[in-house]
Structure 1
Amino acid sequence: MMDLRSAFEDHIKQLADLILKLSSELRSGLRPAYDNFMGFFHAIDWTEPWLRGLMAFHVALLIVAILSRKHINFQMFLFLLALGGVYFAERLNRILGDNWRSFASQNYFDPHGLFLSSLWSGPLLVTAIVILINSLFSLCYLIVRWKRAELRHRARLSQNKQD
């Protein structure tokens, strides 16, 4: 019994040490990420017209996706459009990187595509996820309707057999 108790206490001590290490890493690990995000945020000139237009486009696309939630075919078109935009993001980054002087005050389009991933692909993926979740809810609703119709049909058949 004493061996079991000492093994249990050792296990609790190890678990407490792991939790302390994890919490200290999380506390120190989130600060650099926050600093990097704030540096990225402040490096962008949010008053540029093309950036405002891009943000307005994403907001409008999300609103259209939410308002058209009962039109499944249109939603699938928007879903494919959003995923197509993400697919062509690398090419778009290259084209915009070559021609940034014609519309921007600085070159935001690095070879790794961080800027375009954050401000183009990220919002498109959020819209695609909203559409996907709506499609799953619609599918669940259709399955329930189908099952109810099947049960009503079986009830009519059994009632006709009894008559």
Structure 2
Amino acid sequence: MEEIQKAFEQHMVQMEDLVQKFSTELRSGLQPAYENFMGFIHAIDWKEPFLMGLLVFHFLLLVTTIISRKNSNFQMCLFLLALGGVYLAEKLNKFLRENWRSFATQNYFDSHGIFLSTLWSGPLLVMAIIILVNTLFNLCYLIVKWKKAELRHKAKLYHNKHD
């Protein structure tokens, strides 16, 4: 019983430290996060051909997603491809970390995958969310359309019965 009490007390001390650190960060505002973000942005050479290609790829994917918003089957394929790209990001990061000299001037691909998560997985997840929201809107539209048709059918049956 003493071991459980001791473990509980240690856990409470850790939780207290975490809450204190979190509240300190909240009080300091968004300045440290902004500085880290700006440091990340400035550390990247945006004129690298592979980065320009990646940005163009994401832009074209966004345009394709918007243009195909009425085609549910195509959107589901895009959705699965986007999530597949996120799923394969770790393997892609490893491959790119080993071969960065063939396409980049510096190694952006750290062992934690921060760069690839930000510039590959992040936009793909945003695209997946856009597709998901669009699909939900389409489903709502179909439910309303179905319900209207059901009500028209019931009204027609009612009028035929009473005529």
TM class by smaller structure: 0.7 to 0.9
- 1:85 paired to 2:104: no
One-letter code of the match for 1:159? H
1:32-111 equivalences under 5 Å are: 32-111=32-111
Write the deviation string for residues 54-105 of structure 1: whole angstroms up to 9, x where unpaired. 0000010001000110001000000001000000000000000010000000
Percent identity over paired residues: 71
Shift of 1:117: 0.2
One-letter code of the match for 1:54? L
Q: 1:126 maps to what in 2?
A: 126
Instruction: Determine helix, strand or coil for the equivalent of 1:159.
Output: helix
Answer with 1 or 2: which has the greater Rg: 1
Shift of 1:25: 5.0
Write the deviation string for residues 115-142 of structure 1: whole angstroms up to 9, x where unpaired. 0000000000111111111101000000
1:132-151 equivalences under 5 Å are: 132-151=132-151
Shift of 1:26: 3.5
Q: 1:8 maps to what in 2?
A: none
Q: CA RMSD in A?
A: 1.5
Structure 1: state its 5+ residue gaps.
1-21
One-letter code of the match for 2:63? I
Q: 1:116 maps to what in 2?
A: 116
Q: Counterparts of 1:23 and 1:124 in 2: how far apart (Å)? A: 32
Which runs of 4 or more aligned residues in structure 1 lie more than 6 Å from their structure 2 counterparts after TM superposition? none
Write the deviation string for residues 129-162 of structure 1: whole angstroms up to 9, x where unpaired. 1111110100000000000000001001111111
TM-score, with structure 1 as normaliser: 0.84
Structure 2: state its 5+ residue gaps.
1-21
